[in-house]
Amino acid sequence: MIHMNILEAMKALSNQTRLSILQNLREPEKHFPPQDEGDVTIDGVCVGSIQEGIGMSQSTTSTYLASLQRAGLVTSKRMGGWTYYKRNEANIQKLIELLSKEL
Amino acid sequence: MIHMNILEAMKALSNQTRLSILQNLREPEKHFPPQDEGDVTIDGVCVGSIQEGIGMSQSTTSTYLASLQRAGLVTSKRMGGWTYYKRNEANIQKLIELLSKEL
DNA sequence: TCATTATATCTGCATATCTAGAATTGTCAA
DNA sequence: TTGACAATTCTAGATATGCAGATATAATGA
C-alpha cells in the first residue's frame, strides 16, 4: 500500500465534484448504470458513466479521476477499451486513521 | 456545535501552512512559547506566536486563522490586546466521524 | 488497414488562492 | 488623548486551479 499523504488527499478532496465522485463510488449501483463488462462494485465504473453522473466534460472527468488516483483514493483497471475506477478502501481507511492520529 | 461541512474543512486543510498550524496546536507547549497571559493549552496561542512558528507575515497568519475558524476547526478568544486561538477538538472529532461515515 | 469509440493529455482562458505590504481598528497604559 | 502594540482588513500581483475544446493515444471490430 502506498503511504498516504494527508495534504495530497485534502487537496484532492477540496473540490465538490471530486468529493462527490468518491462519495458516489461508495454505492456505485445506486449512482451509476450497470457496466457493459464487469460488476460496478467489484470492477469499478468506467469514465463515461462517471462523466454522465457528474455532468462535466470528458476531459475534466478524466483529469479529476487522475487526481483522485494520485492521492491514492481510487484505483483504475483497464479492461478492453474502458478504464474502470473504484474506491481504494484500504487507503481511505488509512487516511481516516492518519487524520485521527495526526490531524 | 456548528454543523461541520466536509468540503469547507477539506479546503481549509488543503494548504500545508494551515495544516501545520492545526497540527502544531495539538501540542502547543511544544511548538509555541509561553504566553504573557493564560495557558497555551487552556486558553490558546496568540497570533504573533503562531506567526513566528510558521514564519509567514502577520496578515497571512491572521487570514489563515480566520479560514480555519470559518471551517470550525479552531476557536478564538480575545483577552486584552491579544487574540488566542486553539483547536476546536469537538468539531475536529466530529469531522473525523463525518469522514468515516460519508467519505 | 481503417473507422469508431473510450480515455488521456494538451492548450488556454476565467476564476480562485497565495501572500505580503499598507491602512485600519482595537486595547491598554501613560 | 495620545502613543505603542496586536490583530484584522484592504489591495494587488504572482501562481494555481477550474474547466472545456482540440488533439493524441488505445483498443476493437469490420
Residue A22 at interface with chain B, using a CB cutoff of 8 Å? yes
A80 sits within 7 Å of strand D by its CB:
yes
- What residue has its CA nearest to the C1' of D10? B59
| CA to C1' distance (Å), from B49 to D12 | 27
What tens digit of pLDDT does each residue of A22-58 get? 999 999 999 999 998 889 999 999 999 999 999 999 9
Whether A64 contacts A17, CB under 8 Å: yes
Buried/exposed code over A34-73 (b: 16+ C-beta within 10 A; e: otherwise): ebeebebeebbbbbebbbebbebeeeebeebbebbeebbb
Q: What angle do CA B62, B82, B54 make, to 5 degrees?
A: 40
pTM, two decimals, is 0.93
pLDDT interval class at B22 (50, 70, 90): very high
* CA-to-CA separations, B52 to B25, B75, B79, B87, in angstroms, rounded: 13, 19, 20, 18
b/e map of B47-81 (b: 16 or more CB within 10 Å)? bebbbebbebeeeebbebbebbeebbbbbbeeeee
